[in-house]
Amino acid sequence: MICKVDREKLGAAQAAILAAMLGTLTVGVVNLGTEISGSFKKWVQDAGKFWMPGAEGIGPYSGKETLALVVWLASWFLLHRFLRKREWNQSVVCGLFLAGIALATTLVWPPVFHFLGGKP
């Protein structure tokens, strides 16, 4: 992934940080989805069991990790392909990154996702 990158531009760095943000945000969004829908929870658990050793013992957590990993790495690959020779405004990228991380943190705070999931 490092080859053919214009290191005079920040595009490769921006792709990496935005992908990291999307990975963390996936944890929050998928977790909220499992709180809201039982069938989605089962699908998430199956996604973890598909490849992770011992996934049966850790429940849907394995699927949440799996989906976060897939989104993180896939979005990194795609964003890198798009941004490796160009760059966006760094302040906007950093703002998006921080907003995404803050939203992800809020979505994994149990009182918030229990409330949004309709649990007492």
Partner 1 sequence: MTEVSNKAERSSHTVILDSLMVMIVIAAGILWVSSPTEKLLGDSAYSVRSAFHGLFAGIFMVTATIGLYQALRLWSGIPLNIRELELGSIVNAFACFLTIILGNWLYIPYRAPGGPRAHFLERLPEIHGIFFEFKEFTALFTLPLAVTASYLICLYGERMKANKALRETTALLLVLNFFYFVVAFGLGAAITKLKSV
Q: For binding to partner 1 (CB under 8 A), which residues are involved?
A: 2, 5, 7-8, 10, 12-13, 16-17, 19-20, 23-24, 27-28, 31, 52, 54, 57-59, 61-62, 64-65, 68, 72, 90, 94, 97-98, 101, 104-105, 108-111, 114
Minimum separation from the CB atom of position 50 to partner 1 (A): 15
Minimum separation from the CB atom of position 23 to partner 1 (A): 4
Q: What is the DSSP letter of 87?
A: -
Q: What is the DSSP letter of 92?
A: H
- The contacts of residue 82 (CB under 8 Å, 6+ apart) are 15
Query: 38 or 111: whose CB is closer to partner 1?
Result: 111
Minimum separation from the CB atom of position 109 to partner 1 (A): 6
Minimum separation from the CB atom of position 119 to partner 1 (A): 9
Query: 46 or 108: whose CB is closer to partner 1?
Result: 108
Distance set, CA 97 to CA 5, 42, 43, 67, 80 (Å): 21, 30, 28, 19, 16
How many other β-carbons are positioned within 10 Å of the β-carbon of residue 50? 11
Query: 37 or 119: whose CB is closer to partner 1?
Result: 119
